[in-house]
Amino acid sequence: MPKRDFLSGFELIVLLALLRLREDAYGVPIVREIEEKTRREVAVGSVYATLERLEEKGLVASVLGDSTPERGGRAKKYFHITALGLRQVRSTRRALESLWHRLPQLEGA
C-alpha cells in the first residue's frame, strides 16, 4: 500500500475554508469562516501555522496582496488550494466517508 500523508482535522478544516472562500481567502475571512462553521474561537496564529505547513507540503500556495491603511500598512496574504491539495482533500473525504459509513452510533443524528 503506498505511503500517504493524511490531513489532520484542522488542516482539513482550513483547506475546506479555502475552497469555500475561493479568491477571497486571506487571514480574516478564513478565520471568520472557520469560526462560523465550527462555532468556536480560532487562533489566527494557528491558522497561519497550518497554512505554512500546507504550503510546505505543496497543498496550498500564497500570494501577497496590497497593503491598506486599515491594516496598519500591512499586506494581505491570499491563499489558494493547489491541484495536489484538492486531490488530498478528495482522498481524505473518501477515507472519512468510508469510515463513517453505517456507524450505528452516528445513525439518526
Partner 1 sequence: MNRNEPPKLAKWVLKNFGSANEALAGDLIEEYAQGRSAAWYWRQVLIAVLIGCVSQVRRHKLLTVRAVIVGWAARYTAWYAVNFPVYKLSAKVLAVLGLHPSSFLWRQPYTYPLLLLPLVDGFLSGSLVARLHRTHRTAMVLAYLTTVLLYSFPEWLRLTLDSFSNSRFLPYILVHALTYSFLTVGILLGGLRHSEDNRTKSAPCLTGLPVK
| Chain-centre distance for alpha carbon 90 | 13
| Chain-centre distance for alpha carbon 40 | 15
Calculate the alpha carbon distances from 36 to 93, 94, 96, 102 in Å. 21, 25, 22, 28
Told to check if 91 binds partner 1 by CB under 8 A, we report: no
Told to check if 77 binds partner 1 by CB under 8 A, we report: yes
Least separation in angstroms between CB 42 and partner 1: 10
Q: How many CA atoms lie within 13 A of 63 on its CB side?
A: 8
Query: Rg of the chain's alpha carbons, rounded to an integer?
Result: 16
Count residues contacting partner 1 (CB under 8 A)? 22
CB 20 within 8 A of CB 14: no
Q: Residues 2, 9, 72, 108: which binds partner 1 (CB under 8 A)?
A: 72
Least separation in angstroms between CB 97 and partner 1: 31
Least separation in angstroms between CB 58 and partner 1: 17
Told to check if 64 binds partner 1 by CB under 8 A, we report: yes
Residues that bind partner 1 in the complex, under the rule CB under 8 A: 26-28, 31, 41, 43-46, 48-49, 52, 64, 67, 70-77
